Amino acid sequence: MTLLAHVAEERHGSLAAARVEGEIDASNVDGLEGKLRASLTNDCDGLAVDLSGTTYLDSAGIALLFTLASDLRRHQQQLRLVVVSSSPIARMVSLARLDAAVPTHPTLAAAVAEAGGRE
């Protein structure tokens, strides 16, 4: 993965979380996918991807999130996204209707609470 994005992994009870800071585009989406999938274990109920520090998200990143959500559903897990309404990527998430397919939250704490985890 190029240095366009940094991923910090966390665990909140049975919810894995990944904070993505920087840009997500075709040049780093494969590496990002590997990092996100590596944070999941069999005892996870799901994954929260915190995009509050993400400054750019292109169609490759949107496709990754749709695919990840679908794959998690097949394993009875759920993808949750943290998208701040004033962020540069909020409009892209809305236009792609990603927010209609994946639960979105204004903060990681809200995503954790909704998932029934602990902050």
Residue 119 covered by a domain: no
pLDDT at position 117, please? 58
- Under a CB-based contact definition with an 8 Å cutoff, are residues 107 and 71 in contact? no
Q: Which CATH number characterizes residue 54's domain?
A: 3.30.750.24
Residue 33 C-beta-side C-alpha neighbours within 13 Å: 18
One pLDDT digit (tens) per residue for the chain, 119 residues: 446 899 999 999 999 999 999 999 999 999 999 999 999 988 899 999 999 999 999 999 999 999 999 999 999 999 999 999 999 899 999 999 999 999 999 999 999 999 875 44
**Residue 76's domain spans which residues?**
5-114
The structural domain count of the chain equals 1
